[in-house]
């Protein structure tokens, strides 16, 4: 089972705690003698931490997607290419890469839409801080609507955000189809 990003955020908030009691800081202190690193209280390190945890949390799913597409490529293609004298680089360029294009399109689409609507990871990992450095648009929409009771503003932001995400998604799909036609 894949844990939710909110759970990952809570676990990694404990690991990356900027205090000396954080797991990573304890290990760094015990092994290298390095003092507490402000992983979640420094603006740059907080952004990097959110990105690294997000990538770490999603890489497994995308690896399974690519593996499934790789396993669906018939081995006969490679056998014929080998008989025709194609080396491993040419086989990769002319067989593997074109047949992985649909997986890349799906992966990029999911990464883009997921990245735009991210809420749970930065919220549980940093609370949007330090300051507003890791505060996202979706956090703003939810905080305004649920936390502050400003439903009209939150609804308007949500509609504008949905239109922007839809425009980006359509643009990405059109570009991906153009690339797929060229590669395949």
Reported as a single tens digit per residue, the pLDDT across 23-67 is 999 999 999 998 889 999 999 999 999 999 999 998 999 999 999
Percent of the chain with pLDDT over 70: 98
* Three-class secondary structure of residue 18 per DSSP: coil
Which structural domains are found in the chain, ordered by start? 5-183 (1.10.3720.10)
Q: Could you identify the residue written with the tokens 């047949």?
A: 99
Tokens of 119: 């809420």
Tokens of 136: 């996202």
Q: How far is CA 94 from CA 101, 151, 181, in A?
A: 11, 53, 14
> Distance (Å, rounded) from C-alpha 160 to C-alpha 79?
52
For residues 77-82, give the mean pLDDT: 96
Q: What is the pTM of this model?
A: 0.81
136-149 CB burial, b ≥16 within 10 A, e <16: bbbbbbbbbbeeee
Number of Cα atoms under 13 Å in the Cβ half of residue 93: 5
Note whether 174 and 122 are within 8 A (CB). no
* CA angle in degrees (0–180, nearest 5) for 171-158-53: 75
pLDDT of res. 184: 67
In the predicted structure, residue 1 carries a pLDDT above the cut 80:
no
For residues 97-117, give the mean pLDDT: 89
* Three-class secondary structure of residue 99 per DSSP: helix
Tokens of 176: 């991906």
> Distance (Å, rounded) from C-alpha 152 to C-alpha 139?
16
């Amino acid at each position: 089972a894949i844990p939710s990003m909110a759970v990952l955020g809570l676990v990694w908030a404990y690991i990356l705690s900027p205090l000396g009691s954080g797991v990573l800081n304890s290990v760094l202190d015990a092994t290298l003698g390095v003092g507490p690193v402000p992983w979640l209280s420094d603006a740059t390190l907080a952004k990097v931490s959110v990105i690294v945890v997000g990538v770490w949390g999603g890489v497994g799913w995308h690896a399974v997607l690519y593996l499934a597409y790789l396993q669906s490529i018939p081995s006969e293609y490679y056998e014929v290419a080998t008989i025709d004298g194609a080396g491993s680089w040419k086989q990769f360029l002319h067989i593997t890469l074109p047949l992985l294009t649909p997986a890349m399109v799906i992966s990029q689409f999911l990464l883009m839409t997921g990245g735009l609507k991210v809420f749970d990871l930065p919220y549980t990992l940093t609370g949007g801080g330090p300051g507003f450095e890791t505060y996202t648009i979706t956090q703003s929409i939810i905080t305004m609507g649920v936390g502050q009771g400003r439903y009209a503003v939150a609804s308007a932001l949500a509609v504008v955000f949905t239109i922007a995400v839809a425009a980006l998604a359509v643009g990405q799909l059109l570009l991906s189809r153009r690339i797929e036609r060229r590669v395949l």
